[in-house]
Structure 1
């Protein structure tokens, strides 16, 4: 029996990973010993190391941290936060509330960042193909609306005429581009998308938090699917905070509407149950 056919070898290969090497008394992430990482790198550095395989530069880590901290919360009106708080009033634990909330961060609520990165990357491909920025954005928007949805991800907001997070994040990316820390391609794309959407709609369609953090993730080279994962990681901070606050406040069986508020009913008018012998 060859070494690759032994049960021991097959068991060792069951979960093959390049992420962590662990044995009694030793833990290494991507080759780095944990005792040297502790105290020398921050949480954003570790997120980068775990997902990308290498430690980031200080400017890269700073931009990543900026994106992560900017999207931690948007209040109980956000379905994920409301679900976390409701779960706590049902007797759930913090981990139950967090899992319940993260599970709804999907295509509509939580997926716009990933979609915005995809849009930006498709526009960059048009530029690489020889189109100037304005034409590349026109093509990107048209293709997206034809093949995906009329909604352009990362732009517009239900509550904010101007999302206060967007301009500040773009400013930081542009400053990083001036220092040569990122290329600046995606921040230019986002600004042109915003300009064209305003021209198309005849009203402000501001860049929102999803579109702004997508600029950062794209500038830093994160694949689009990781943008959603990073948003889930970021929003988990707010989810945890609200779940803990609700546990401290107490309350039992709080649903989506206050006590005494009832939903509109549009079904049949009151009517008797027919007799059993009715044909």
Structure 2
């Protein structure tokens, strides 16, 4: 007779997790019964609990939610939003539109937050070793440019002279630091990066949404890769809203350019295959 207990143990070990415990009539997230969480905590608290394993303090929750709220949408000119809307006009379902859009949130569109957290954390590490913020930032920027090129993620915006979301988020972090709720070091680093970029370029290169949310995620001790995942989670709200709006508006095969607009063809001038076949 096979030992079913051994088989059960092997199956249980295959998918071991500290996130959820479930059996008939019982569901626990990180040890908490779901019925105790429902109606007592908000969605941002639930995200924190699932990722971090503990519930956030009220101060942590407020900053975390502010970051999530700030990045939900940036209009159909954002590639992810445009793709979601186009997918709906091709007959896709909402889940397919969401998946198509999230799949382009990568290094250039959506990944900058992760990169800025890495930059801020490297500067913070130098400060912990004894460097002042100015010296650590100068070295951090030099190291970043040597590895990744001249573009510093999280600063400057192709559309907004000043990203309206960034000053508000940074003000919330600095107010929380004054109350002793967070350290405030990454906010100081962001200010110093901004100052040095302006000195280097001779013009303001202000903090943008990626840099501002990176300040919050770094202050809250999130590992850098999670900054990208959290941006995807946040932007999914806007993606869903636009996909649903497009479905309600209707339309078929809505491409990236308005109907009647054509691309710029720069290939070979018009020619005939007959000139080729006659010479063969």
- TM (norm. structure 2) is 0.97
Name the counterpart of 1:269. 269
Q: Secondary structure at the match of 2:14?
A: coil
Equivalences for 1:29-108 in 2 at 5 Å? 29-108=29-108
> How far did residue 31 of structure 1 move?
0.3
> How far did residue 6 of structure 1 move?
2.2
Name the counterpart of 2:140. 140
Provide the rounded CA distance (Å) in 2 between the counterparts of 1:136 and 1:206.
Answer: 19
> How far did residue 2 of structure 1 move?
12
> How far did residue 3 of structure 1 move?
8.0
Contact 1:114 1:228 in 2 (8 A): yes
Name the counterpart of 1:178. 178
Name the counterpart of 1:151. 151
> How far did residue 12 of structure 1 move?
1.4
Report runs of 4+ in structure 1 exceeding 2 Å deviation: 1-6, 274-279
Unaligned regions of 5+ residues in structure 1, if any?
A: none
Provide the rounded CA distance (Å) in 2 between the counterparts of 1:44 and 1:97.
Answer: 24
Provide the rounded CA distance (Å) in 2 between the counterparts of 1:57 and 1:190.
Answer: 24
Name the counterpart of 1:246. 246
> How far did residue 4 of structure 1 move?
11
Contact 1:3 1:9 in 2 (8 A): no
Name the counterpart of 2:131. 131
Contact 1:113 1:227 in 2 (8 A): yes
Q: Secondary structure at the match of 1:69?
A: helix
Name the counterpart of 2:117. 117
Name the counterpart of 1:208. 208
Provide the rounded CA distance (Å) in 1 between the counterparts of 2:77 and 2:273.
Answer: 40
Cα RMSD (Å)? 1.6
Unaligned regions of 5+ residues in structure 2, if any?
A: none
Contact 1:163 1:207 in 2 (8 A): yes
> How far did residue 149 of structure 1 move?
2.2
Any idea what the Cα deviations from partners look like across 1:196-248, whole Å, max 9, x if unmatched? 10111011101000000000000000000000000000000000000000000
Provide the rounded CA distance (Å) in 2 between the counterparts of 1:234 and 1:259.
Answer: 31
- TM (norm. structure 1) is 0.97
Name the counterpart of 1:237. 237
